[in-house]
Amino acid sequence: MKNFSILTHPIFKYAIKIYKDPINQRDLIRADNHKKVGIYSWINNINGKFYIGSGNSLYLRLSDYYQKWYLKSRTNLYIVKSLSKYKMNNFTLVILKYTNSKNVISCERKFINLLKPEYNKNLIGNSTKKYKPILKNNKK
């Protein structure tokens, strides 16, 4: 995005909660999202690129991004590469929707299809627990 300003990012019109300082707001993020199911987005404040994900246990899913082991073990994910490169203090966390376990994947897909996030490899929307990377030159 040229001349990017976080204030004009199109995702904000869908936001129900915004955490501009996710490092220092971790306790608030935990309190707001504990035992909830929902859709979230990480927005890079520097370049405007973003990721959309979901959590059947939303805070537990979000807490993965704070763990060094997660960042080291998931280097195949664009969002993890970006968080490692730019650091979390250069990201905004947005909660897009609270839902239930039955609808979480369809809600995630809706937002992915609508907003076309650059950091999502899988533009269909699915749980990373079911994610299998496509390997080049994979012969069966």
Per this entry, what is the length of the chain?
140
The predicted model gives 51-79 an average pLDDT of 95
Q: What is the pLDDT of residue 39?
A: 98
CB 35 within 8 A of CB 57: yes
CB 59 within 8 A of CB 33: yes
The predicted model gives 96-120 an average pLDDT of 96
Q: Over the stretch 39-52, which tens digit does the pLDDT of each residue have?
A: 999 999 999 999 99
Sign of CA dihedral 45, 58, 66, 19: positive
Domain locations in the chain as residue ranges: 6-115
CB 51 within 8 A of CB 11: no
Q: Over the stretch 80-94, which tens digit does the pLDDT of each residue have?
A: 999 999 999 999 999
- pLDDT for 110 beyond 80: yes
Model confidence at 123, pLDDT cuts 50, 70, 90, reads low
Model confidence at 107, pLDDT cuts 50, 70, 90, reads very high
Average pLDDT value over all residues in the chain: 87
Model confidence at 140, pLDDT cuts 50, 70, 90, reads very low
Neighbours of 57 (CB within 10 A): 15
User: Which option is the CATH number for 6-115: 3.30.420.40, 3.10.20.30, 3.40.1440.10, 3.30.450.40?
Assistant: 3.40.1440.10
Read off the pTM. 0.84
